[in-house]
A and B are shown apart, each in its own frame.
Chain A
Amino acid sequence: MSIFSKITHLHSTTIEREALSPTNLPSPWGEGRLVRGAGWRSIPICVCSWSESVAVNQNRGPGRLSSSHGGSLYWQRLALGCLIAITAFPALAATPPPPSDLIVRDRPNDDGSSLGVEWTEPADLTSVDHYEISVDTRGGDGGFEKKIDVPVGTSSAFLEELSPDSNYLVRIVAVSDDGDRSSTLETTEPVSPKINWFNSGRTWLAILLALVCGVVLLYIVAARRGMKLWVRPIAGLDAVTDAVGRAVEMGKSVLFIPGIQDINDIQTVAGVTILSRVARIAAEYDAEIKVPTSRSLVMATARETVEASFLHAGRPDSYNPDDIYYLTDEQFGYVAGVTGQMVREKPAACFYMGSFYAESLILAETGNSIGSIQLAGTAQPSQLPFFIAACDYTLIGEEFFAASAYLSGEPQQLGSLKGQDFGKLLCAALIVTGCFMATIVALLATKADAGASSSMLAKPLAYLHDNVLGDEGFWPVEDE
Chain B
Amino acid sequence: MKRTLPLIIAGITGFVLIVSYFLPPYENWGDVAMQWFNILAAIAFILGGGNLIKLNLAKISARRAGWGYSAVTLAAFLATLAVGLLKISVPPSEEFPASTWAAPYQSEGAAFWWLFEYILTPLNQTMFALLAFFVASAAFRAFRAKNVEATILLATAFIVMLGRTAAGVWLTNWLPAEGLLATLRLEALADTAMYVFNLAGMRAITIGIALGVVATSLKILLGVDRSYLGSD
Residues in chain A within 8 A of chain B (CB atoms) = 109-112, 195-199, 202, 205-206, 209, 212-213, 216-217, 220, 262, 264, 266, 269-270, 272-273, 276-277, 295-297, 299-301, 304-305, 307-309, 312, 322, 325-333, 335-336, 340, 344, 358, 361-362, 364-366, 368, 379, 381, 384, 386, 388-390, 396-398, 400-402, 404-405, 408, 410, 412-413, 416-417, 419-420, 423-424, 427
Please provide the 7 A-B residue pairs with the shortest distance between their CB atoms, ordered closest to farther.
A308-B230, A401-B212, A296-B48, A398-B208, A326-B48, A332-B127, A276-B227
Given A295-B41, A296-B48, A300-B47 in contact, is the A195-B219 Cβ separation under 8 Å? no
| A361 in contact with B44 (CB, 8 Å) | no
| B138 in contact with A398 (CB, 8 Å) | no
The residue of chain B having its C-beta at the shortest distance from the C-beta of A312 within the complex is: B232
Q: Which residues of A contact B58 (CB under 8 A)?
A: 322
Given A325-B51, A424-B208 in contact, is the A199-B23 Cβ separation under 8 Å? yes
Tell me, rounded to whole Å, the shortest Cβ–Cβ distance linking A222 to chain B: 13
| A220 in contact with B230 (CB, 8 Å) | no
Q: What's the dominant secondary structure at chain B's contact region?
A: helix
| A199 in contact with B22 (CB, 8 Å) | yes
Tell yes or no: B81 within 8 A of A by CB. Answer: no
Residues in chain B within 8 A of chain A (CB atoms) = 18, 21-25, 27, 34, 37, 40-41, 44-49, 51-52, 55, 58, 65-66, 69, 120, 123-124, 127-128, 130-131, 134-135, 137-139, 141-142, 202, 205-209, 211-220, 222, 224-225, 227-232
A/B interface sample: 12 pairs, CB < 8 A: A111-B27, A197-B25, A216-B214, A264-B37, A273-B225, A295-B48, A297-B41, A312-B232, A344-B66, A397-B209, A408-B232, A424-B208
| New contact pairs (12) apart from A308-B231, A396-B205, CB-CB < 8 Å | A266-B216, A273-B227, A305-B229, A332-B127, A333-B124, A381-B202, A381-B206, A401-B216, A402-B212, A420-B208, A423-B211, A427-B207
A220 to B225, CA, bound (A): 11
| B41 in contact with A110 (CB, 8 Å) | no
* Count, A-B residue pairs, CB within 8 A: 204
Q: Which of A264, A379, A413 contacts B219 (CB 8 A)?
A: A413
A365 to B140, CA, bound (A): 12
| B224 in contact with A384 (CB, 8 Å) | no
Q: Which residues of B contact A299 (CB under 8 A)?
A: 47-48, 51
Q: Which of A269, A296, A400, A419 contacts B45 (CB 8 A)?
A: A296
Given A269-B216, A322-B55, A344-B66 in contact, is the A398-B131 Cβ separation under 8 Å? no
The residue of chain B having its C-beta at the shortest distance from the C-beta of A380 within the complex is: B209
A202 to B206, CA, bound (A): 20
Q: Which residues of B contact A400 (CB under 8 A)?
A: 212
Q: What's the dominant secondary structure at chain A's contact region?
A: helix
Q: Which of B21, B211, B227 contacts A277 (CB 8 A)?
A: B227
A334 to B83, CA, bound (A): 21
A333 to B128, CA, bound (A): 10
The residue of chain A having its C-beta at the shortest distance from the C-beta of B25 within the complex is: A111
Q: Which residues of A contact B216 (CB under 8 A)?
A: 266, 269-270, 273, 401, 404, 416
Tell me, rounded to whole Å, the shortest Cβ–Cβ distance linking B191 to chain A: 18
Q: Which of B217, B218, B227 contacts A408 (CB 8 A)?
A: B227
Q: Which residues of A contact B205 (CB under 8 A)?
A: 381, 384, 396-397
Tell me, rounded to whole Å, the shortest Cβ–Cβ distance linking A111 to chain B: 4
| A398 in contact with B52 (CB, 8 Å) | no
| B25 in contact with A266 (CB, 8 Å) | no
| A296 in contact with B22 (CB, 8 Å) | no
| A266 in contact with B213 (CB, 8 Å) | yes
Q: Which residues of B contact A379 (CB under 8 A)?
A: 209, 212-213
The residue of chain A having its C-beta at the shortest distance from the C-beta of B228 within the complex is: A272
| A412 in contact with B51 (CB, 8 Å) | no
A419 to B25, CA, bound (A): 32
The residue of chain B having its C-beta at the shortest distance from the C-beta of A213 within the complex is: B218
| A276 in contact with B228 (CB, 8 Å) | yes
Given A111-B24, A299-B51, A408-B232 in contact, is the A386-B138 Cβ separation under 8 Å? yes
| A296 in contact with B41 (CB, 8 Å) | yes
Tell me, rounded to whole Å, the shortest Cβ–Cβ distance linking A350 to chain B: 15
A226 to B48, CA, bound (A): 44
Most buried by A among B205, B207, B208, B228: B228
Q: Which of A262, A362, A386, A419 contacts B215 (CB 8 A)?
A: A419
Given A216-B218, A295-B41 in contact, is the A198-B22 Cβ separation under 8 Å? yes
Q: Which of B137, B214, B219 contacts A365 (CB 8 A)?
A: B137
| A424 in contact with B211 (CB, 8 Å) | yes
Q: Which residues of B contact A300 (CB under 8 A)?
A: 44, 47
| B209 in contact with A331 (CB, 8 Å) | no
A396 to B206, CA, bound (A): 10
Q: Which residues of B contact A413 (CB under 8 A)?
A: 219, 224-225
